[in-house]
Structure 1
Amino acid sequence: MKRANVIGSGPNGLSAAIVLAEAGVDVEVFEAEAVPGGGARTLPLTLPGFMHDFGSAVHPMAAGSPFFATLPLGEHGLGWIHGEAPLAHPLDDGTAVMLEHNLADQDREFGQDAQAWRSLITPLVDHWDRFAQEALGPVVRVPRHPLFMARFGMAAFQSARRIATHNFAQPRTRALFAGLAAHSFLSLDDTLSSAVALVLGAAAHKVGWPVPRGGSQSITNALIGHLQSLGGKVYTSCRVDAEIFRKLSGPDAITLFDTSPRQLVAIAGDRLTPGFRGLMERFKLGPGVFKIDYALSQPVPWRAAGCRRAITVHLGGTFDEIAEAENLVLKGQHPERPFVLTAQPSLFDRTRAPEGQHTFWAYCHVPNGSTVDMTDRLEMQIERYAPGFRDCILGRHVSTPATLEKMNANLLGGDISGGAMTMRQFLLRPSALTYETSAPNLFICSASTPPGGGVHGMCGFRAAKVALRRTRFRE
């Protein structure tokens, strides 16, 4: 058995394909869309000359990925661009609290909260390589560094509110921490909501929050370039359904699915046991997102000067404001003042827009499958911190949850995180079998497996390693 199919060409699918190809396996990747990459694509969504990241735009986890670090992606055109600071979080007083790359600069920014921040973050920064290997994998296993991971777990298994309340004296610090934690799509009162904040904070100080020169497509293109150098093949505009899958699969092949659990069932359900099919069909989706890509006549006119130093800007005000907005989403409601995540890569990467003009990307969380138009609410949050923003707009591309799912079938109901990060789905993601299924030669390698969402390739890397061990393939 020396042949493998990978369904889906997102970073996880391509990473799985690379691991298999490195082991001497004949690998073919099948992508439904005309442009490969899944959530890591760059497309002309608004006006001529403006290039927009369809999904992920800023990539701390790609820059800090243990697997990507082993690949010669720079030889295939991938280069990283950093802002002057990883993140800005503007406040209503006209200032912005900053997340800096350098810890000494962060000390000055946080003042009396600096020591508390360092006590949480420094161990992760100092031992990032060890930490990333441990954290970006299945939870239910014996860690190689149990004491180190236990220390991280003591903080990670607390709610963001508890961490912020017990560690930070200043509302400014708490606000920035809330924005980091809200990347989890969890209530900030939930266990685990602090974990994402700690990882993203540590990444900012260790590897930064960079963007790829030319857009997220550059990550995909570099992965494909390396895969092709190993003999792997990628086919685009090739949507695999149950009928096509039956033709592709056979006794001499394995298949890895860079898809949601529900798509796995739709494509290969007749190969799965009834019990396993039921587990996949009950896999809980996360909230959706409502996203707008903008073509702008000038940079966003932020009131706070610090925002002009950062590619990423979080909009949401205080800790309590962000917490309330996220809680409403989880209750199936639409906040009047949503937490808005924005990225403005053209400030530092001039390949994204015509001379003197800019691209800008903003989204907010909404209930899964929402049909509510959040444009006015989202833009009011931007205007709150950047008066006159609407006067800069040359063009918009609005992506509702339905639009996102149409453009990438993995994004069910607009869920960009590969499934809700409930405690059950944190521990058993998507089931106790993790990357395996009930069929011996079928595996799942998407963001619905550990460690979850983000452009890091670790789901695909680990799934392919399991596939090699569980089959007659040899590394």
Structure 2
Amino acid sequence: MAPPDAAAGSHPPAGTRTARDAVVIGAGPNGLVAANLLADAGWDVAVLEAQGEPGGAVRSDRGVHPDYVHDTFSAFYPLAAASPVLRDLGLERYGLRWSHAPAVVGHPLPDGRCAVLSRDVERTAASLARFSPADADAWYRLYDLWCRYGDDLVACLFTPFPPVRSGLRLAARARAAEGLRLARTLLLPARRFGEEHFAGEGGRLLIAGNALHADLGPESALGGGFGWLMSMLGQAHGFPVPVGGAGRLTQALVARLLDRGGELRCGHAVTEVLVRDGRAVSVRTADGMETPVRRAVLADVPAPLLYERLVGPEHLPPRLRADLSRFQWDFATVKVDWALSRPIPWTCEDAHGAGTVHVADGVDALTRFGGQLAMEQVPDVPFTVLGQMTTADPSRSPAGTESAWGYTHVPQRIRSDAGDDGITGAWDAREKDAIANRVEAGIERLAPGFRDAIEARRVLAPPDLERLDAALVGGAVNQGTTSLHQQLFFRPVPGDGRPRTPVRGLYLASATAHPGGGVHGAPGANAARAALRTPRLPRRRRRP
């Protein structure tokens, strides 16, 4: 009997499926975006996913408490809201709806003050003016900079490097001297950026805290530019969430793909990309099944895993293998989910309506946190990015309760513990409880009674995250550092910036490709567009 996806009347050899125009490895958001664009072009495309369900790091569940929806990995999507790639897919026709919290980001302090980022620019400016009256005008100036150049910057971000069209538009608008000033601003560390633009602490906290959504501490080059970008995305688009859970975004991508004739096969882990005469010609899965490809293989797989596990070293140039040995992952992540019997009792009123809350006592505390990570120490006082999901989307839990989560970073390789718990990186139950207790202690300082509201808790340490999604190597959620030395044409290795690989017909479609992490679909779209320019392989005659 022919496999269910074999064409009627065909008789493929045992262990071989019918040839496809393209096979996409991985059903994360980038893989699903790539598959949708290929299907739109009329290609016969199949997506193979190792996990039992699609989505990669865009999934949700009820594993903490049956009455509460929790996003297993990512949760807020400012890059998705700004992405022309996702916007052009029209996912609202497939059930996707977005929801917003009353405020975007809050950063409360122990003295009762709170910096608030709102979609209302006047409200944001008024919040920062409470730290220093001059900072309202400073925020308006930074927002004006975004209004002039933001669209072109986003276009540069979401296209292969170098971004020719959007880059030329940006250069035309920002003439020589002003363009150099803009470039300098974007390259500033977050601390220096804050000091140059704000007299008070509020604006500095928003920039530095948003920079640490990646792995850019206050002293890291590019941190100021990234923090400003995230802040302006929040100002212009908010940090929206899919109504009903992150998994609804994945469901919409899958429904659109199937509607266009694409195929998704979950529970099929690809173990090898077969290469013949320097070209990818098929993929093999763990069950021994082989799927030939007529045009392209697109890998929503981190570059080190793709090259080291799926493609044999004999197909790679020595320089690439050497560069991969220097590839740097971003910090590991620990995520704690809570089912709360009531909203978090912040002492600062402005924190109640924020979908995202940053928990740290100030920029100096963020520098201390970043320094401990750099020294491969588990921070004793974690910086926590906290999500109040029911505040952002009331469907996530019963009325009067809160579905919440918090994540913090730890080193990929732990040399020592800056705290008293002796965390080593074994990540057994004791160590997971220890790091979760530190996260909760930071929240409790700003919201006394928080712990009393916990009905249920789940702690996902780095090995748990990698087990649930193999692309999160060591708990690295951005698939590689956001630092300048591994961005643009340095991503994933020097000389890249485009999705092509040394193997003809094989394209890198994961967040290890430019422009990197975040749910925006750009790496998948870039890979799909490159593949669409690939000539079709000649049909091979089958021997009798």
TM range (shorter): over 0.9
User: 2:208 and 2:529 mapped to 1: Cα distance?
Assistant: 36
Question: Among residues 462, 470, 476, which one is paired with 1:409 in the alignment?
Answer: 470
Corresponding residue for residue 375 of structure 1: 436
Corresponding residue for residue 499 of structure 2: 435
Code of the aligned partner of 1:444: L
Structure 1 ranges of 4+ moved more than 6 A: none
Q: List aligned pairs for 1:24-423, cutoff 5 A.
A: 24-111=42-129, 112-125=134-147, 127-142=149-164, 143-147=167-171, 148=173, 150=179, 152-242=182-272, 245-246=283-284, 248=290, 250=292, 252-265=294-307, 266-269=309-312, 272-275=315-318, 276-368=320-412, 371=425, 372-373=431-432, 374-423=435-484
- Aligned residues of 1:292 and 1:398 also touching (Cα < 8 A): yes
1:263: how far off?
Answer: 1.7
User: 2:238 and 2:103 mapped to 1: Cα distance?
Assistant: 8
RMSD (Å) for aligned C-alpha atoms: 2.0
Q: What 5-or-longer segments of structure 1 have no aligned partner?
A: none
- Aligned residues of 2:221 and 2:483 also touching (Cα < 8 A): no
1:270: how far off?
Answer: 5.0
User: 1:219 and 1:272 mapped to 2: Cα distance?
Assistant: 36
Q: Rg bigger for which structure?
A: 2
User: 1:154 and 1:26 mapped to 2: Cα distance?
Assistant: 46
DSSP 3-state at the match of 1:191: coil
Code of the aligned partner of 2:491: R
User: 1:117 and 1:221 mapped to 2: Cα distance?
Assistant: 38
1:134: how far off?
Answer: 1.4
1:45: how far off?
Answer: 2.1
Which structure is richer in relative contact order (CA contacts within 8 A, separation 6 or more)?
1
1:169: how far off?
Answer: 0.3
Identity of aligned residues (%): 34
Corresponding residue for residue 20 of structure 1: 38
DSSP 3-state at the match of 1:409: coil
Residue by residue over 1:29-80, the C-alpha shift from the partner in whole angstroms, topping out at 9 and shown as x without a partner, is 1111112101100012212122210111011111111111112211111111
1:120: how far off?
Answer: 2.4
DSSP 3-state at the match of 1:398: strand
Q: What 5-or-longer segments of structure 2 have no aligned partner?
A: 1-18, 274-281, 415-424, 426-430, 538-544
The answer to whether structure 1 residue 452 and structure 2 residue 516 are counterparts is: yes
User: 1:467 and 1:53 mapped to 2: Cα distance?
Assistant: 32
Residue by residue over 1:397-431, the C-alpha shift from the partner in whole angstroms, topping out at 9 and shown as x without a partner, is 10101110111101111100110123231132113
User: 1:346 and 1:47 mapped to 2: Cα distance?
Assistant: 14
Task: Select between 108-117 and 201-210 the one with higher mean Cα deviation.
Answer: 108-117
Residue by residue over 1:299-335, the C-alpha shift from the partner in whole angstroms, topping out at 9 and shown as x without a partner, is 1111111111111101112111112112211221122
Residue by residue over 1:170-193, the C-alpha shift from the partner in whole angstroms, topping out at 9 and shown as x without a partner, is 022212221112123123212111
- Aligned residues of 2:20 and 2:291 also touching (Cα < 8 A): no
- Aligned residues of 1:164 and 1:177 also touching (Cα < 8 A): yes
User: 1:215 and 1:381 mapped to 2: Cα distance?
Assistant: 26
- Aligned residues of 1:172 and 1:318 also touching (Cα < 8 A): no
Task: Select between 125-134 and 342-351 the one with higher mean Cα deviation.
Answer: 125-134
User: 1:86 and 1:251 mapped to 2: Cα distance?
Assistant: 45
1:355: how far off?
Answer: 4.0
Residues 454 and 109 from structure 1, CA distance in 2 versus in 1: closer, same or farther, beyond 3 angstroms?
A: same
- Aligned residues of 1:59 and 1:455 also touching (Cα < 8 A): yes
User: 1:440 and 1:271 mapped to 2: Cα distance?
Assistant: 14
- Aligned residues of 1:178 and 1:323 also touching (Cα < 8 A): no
Code of the aligned partner of 1:164: G
> In the comparison of the two structures, how many residue pairs are matched?
473
User: 1:458 and 1:167 mapped to 2: Cα distance?
Assistant: 31
Question: Scaled by the length of structure 1, what TM-score is found?
Answer: 0.94
User: 1:405 and 1:22 mapped to 2: Cα distance?
Assistant: 32
